[in-house]
Amino acid sequence: MSEEFKIEIVNPEKSFLVKEDVSEVVVPAFEGEMGILKDHISIISFLKPGIIKVSSKSGDENYYVEDGIVEFKNNNLSILTSSIYNLSDMDKSVQQDLLKKAEEEAGKSDINDQAKYLVDQKIEVLKTLN
Amino acid sequence: MASLDDLKKRIASVKSTQKITKAMKMVAAAKLRKAQESAEKGRPYSEKMNNVILNLSSGISDKENAPKLLAGTGQEKVHLCVVMTSDRGLCGGFNSNIIKKAKSYFSKILDENKEIKIITVGSKGNDQLKRTYGDKIIENISFKESKNANYFDADKVGKIIIEKFEAGEFDVCTIFYNKFKNVITQIPQAQQIIPLNDEGNENSSDESYEFEPDEDEILSNLLPKNISTQIFKAMLENSASEQGSRMSAMDNATRNAGEMVDKLTIEYNRSRQAAITKELIEIISGAESL
């Protein structure tokens, strides 16, 4: 019995990743990390900044995302995001840039609580990457 | 009849025009391929986004308290029209088709005694609308610096729209753009994005979802994103349409120039022959008279 399902990550420009043989995906959902296995109940959720971990036969892959939406239905996992980076070929300088931008954002005085929470998350994740 | 020299000059100038239009056609063809590709690549995102929103909105039981971006403000007094055109000309009927569509919509709205506000994206649209609807244009956005349509620009437009919506400046928002069908056919479209039009709801399933956090929160976060996504989709379709339209316009221009060169060449040869014949007659009749 196969325990695999399909994942599709799309960003506005293109289909970022399509894989048919995924056994587990861990996504940084808004209210905490969420592991998704085959036959998970249909769910829609948002992402906060964090790492998406995709496990398949060919090994684990890690992606850094800043925001997005997850939809899981009929063993099809779709992730819509406007900012995604593959960690294995993500440049240190790109990380530094993102971190700098996030820190600037966090330093603003007119930031609301939710945005502040997200930015803090972002900074934390980016720091652990470095 | 024009002198031989004049004809020669005209032929040369038509030929050089033909060279330009030919070059523009080639450039447009190359750009078209790229634009078309990115328009096709961008489709899954907006389709998926739409699906998720349809699924979400069908799951909402309490329509009264639904977010305003979805349900509308309850009235339809002020219409915001976002007219998306290109920044550059020489692309056939591309811009005028959008403008024509937009203008017919404007007059329909104005006949109903409602108010319109216009945002133009792209300078060509602004140029054409300025004369008749100058006082209605509240914003003119142009992305001359960006080479290709990108999400960042679309997001900027989306944020402006949402800002204005939250400030209560309008009730209904419609975007105008050209949908790319093929190189020769582009269909001007008017698409209502606020409140969200749930036409074509058939493919949403009845299946129930788990939501985390709850539906309302997801929706209120998702809807602004959807606006940007729809704008982005329109921008991609537009840029593919623009290149397609330019390509066929320039193709026509090149062909017309070719026809003109042929016609002028015949005329040139004919008048050259006429001049020779005339000279001959003069010589012969001169010799005869002696």
- Tens digits of per-residue pLDDT, A55-74? 988 888 889 888 888 988 88
Q: Given this model, what pLDDT does residue B211 score?
A: 79
For residues A116 and A62, membership in a common domain is answered with no
Taking contacts as CB-CB distances below 8 angstroms, the residues of chain B near A82 are: 151, 155, 225
| B209 to A29: CB separation less than 8 angstroms, yes or no | no
Q: Given this model, what pLDDT does residue B61 score?
A: 61
For residues A68 and A40, membership in a common domain is answered with yes
Residue A125's domain comprises 91-129
For residues A122 and A79, membership in a common domain is answered with no
For residues A78 and A19, membership in a common domain is answered with yes
Q: How many domains does chain A have?
A: 2
- CA distances A118 to A67, B83, B224, Å, are 9, 34, 17
CA distance B25 to chain A (A): 26
- Tens digits of per-residue pLDDT, B105-143? 999 999 998 989 999 998 888 888 988 888 888 888 888
Q: Given this model, what pLDDT does residue A130 score?
A: 65
Q: Which helix (H) or strand (E) holds B274?
A: helix B215-289
Residue B224 in this model has a pLDDT that exceeds 70: yes
For residues A77 and A61, membership in a common domain is answered with yes
Q: Given this model, what pLDDT does residue B198 score?
A: 60
Q: Given this model, what pLDDT does residue A46 score?
A: 85
Phi, psi of A56 (to 5 degrees): -145, 180
Is residue B91 part of the annotated active site? The answer reads yes
- pLDDT band of B241, cuts 50, 70, 90: very high
- Tens digits of per-residue pLDDT, A87-124? 887 777 888 888 888 888 777 777 777 777 888 888 88
For residues A78 and A65, membership in a common domain is answered with yes
Cα B213 from Cα A30, distance rounded (Å): 7
For residues A13 and A71, membership in a common domain is answered with yes
Please give the average per-residue pLDDT across B19-24, as a whole number: 95
Average pLDDT taken over every residue of chain B: 86
For residues A74 and A31, membership in a common domain is answered with yes
| B45 to A71: CB separation less than 8 angstroms, yes or no | no
Question: Which among A86, A67, A89 has a CA at the least distance from the CA of A19?
Answer: A86
- B260 SS3 class: helix
For residues A56 and A99, membership in a common domain is answered with no
Residue A40 in this model has a pLDDT that exceeds 80: yes
Task: Say which CATH number the domain at A53 has.
Answer: 2.60.15.10
For residues A67 and A118, membership in a common domain is answered with no
Tell me, yes or no, if A29 comes closer than 8 A to chain B by beta carbon: yes
| A12 to B210: CB separation less than 8 angstroms, yes or no | no
- Report the residue of chain A nearest B211, measured CA to CA: A44
Could you tell me the domains of chain B? 44-249 (3.40.1380.10)
Q: Which residue numbers of B have CB closer than 8 Å to A's CBs?
A: 38, 41-42, 44-46, 48-49, 51-52, 55-56, 150-151, 154-155, 205, 207-213, 218, 221-222, 225, 229, 232
Choosing from B78, B91, B175, B234, the catalytic residue is B91
| A44 to B52: CB separation less than 8 angstroms, yes or no | yes
Other Cβ atoms closer than 10 A to A81: 20
Q: Given this model, what pLDDT does residue A98 score?
A: 84
For residues A10 and A45, membership in a common domain is answered with yes
For residues A55 and A70, membership in a common domain is answered with yes
